Amino acid sequence: MWARASSLDRHMQCPAASYLPRDEDGAWVPGYLQDINKFTAPNIECIEDNIWAEWGTEMHLAKENHKLASPLFLAKVDSHRERLWPSKLGRHEIPVAYNCRTGNVFEGPAHDNSWKRLRGPDDITGTADWIGRLPNGEIWVDDLKTGHNTPAPDTVQLLFYGLCFYKLSELPKLPTKTIRLSATHWRRDWDEPRRFWTQIQWKQLAEFEEQLRVAWLEVRSSSEAKSGLHCSYCPSVNICPAVNGIPDLTSEIKVEQL
Ligand code: SF4
């Protein structure tokens, strides 16, 4: 797959983020685009403490009342779930894939991560936390954020899901059509969350789709590493030449050997 929706901003800004091998839970795996086959040997010096990520995962399970959700987290979320995510208005955790070559969008089976892994190298994949339809007919996409920073409701990730579900819907593409995006912020020290809303026109999604296509074309034609704020949490950072200097060519190895 070309990228994951949750890290889409990084992939749009840095072609190397789609090529470089990445560290996943301490194991190095080849980059999403595997047709470039030589990189420097990874230097695994530290494995990030992922306690914060685990807390987010537990909150997402509790949000949808998943059978594997922990009773501790269910106790926190149960009394808020129907108010925040009314069951008559939408569905939780929906996998989607967007093909950058064709612009086609596909919805996958619920809770099937293997479906996302099997998508081709031109696909962006992700799982929308919540996709609904408001009583006025607007598509509504919500994203649950559990970190410290206040989230914005118009991130690249939410625009991506808005684009996908807009294209999957049968709404006519009229200039007056709007979509609602919301970010639900629930920090671990809060009893209940805050929610931030925005409304966007379908035209903004059309412009965003064009940006995606331009970024994808650049990724296909370049492997240049472009560092910046988007390097935060990049799983390739420990071997990235833009961050660690020009690689020593004598130590290059094949991706298959990683
Ligand atoms: S660390 Fe930064 S420059 Fe390097 S691959 Fe990741 S996003 Fe690109």
Give the CATH number of the domain where residue 131 resides: 3.90.320
Q: What is the pLDDT of residue 88?
A: 97
Average pLDDT value for residue range 117-130: 91
Q: How far is the CA of 19 from the centre of ligand 1 (A)?
A: 10
> Cα dist. 168→103, 108, 165, 171, 191 in Å?
11, 12, 5, 9, 35
Q: For residue 171, is it within any domain?
A: yes
Confidence of residue 29 (pLDDT cuts 50, 70, 90): confident
Residues within a 6 A CB radius of ligand 1:
10, 14, 16-17, 20, 225-227, 230-231, 234, 236-237, 240, 242-243
Q: What is the pLDDT of residue 244?
A: 80
Which of ligand 1's atoms lies nearest the C-alpha of 20?
Answer: 5
Tell me the three state secondary structure of residue 9.
helix
Instruction: Convert the pLDDT of each residue in 186-229 to its tens digit.
Output: 998 899 999 999 999 988 999 999 999 999 999 988 888 999 99
Quote the CA–CA distance of 32 and 44 in Å, as a whole number. 20
| Minimal-distance CA residue to ligand 1 atom 7 | 231
Q: For residue 254, is it within any domain?
A: no
pTM, rounded to two decimals:
0.85
Range of the domain at 158: 3-245
Average pLDDT value for residue range 25-46: 62
More confident residue, 244 or 72: 72
Average pLDDT value for residue range 56-76: 94
Number of structural domains found in the chain = 1
Q: What is the pLDDT of residue 169?
A: 87
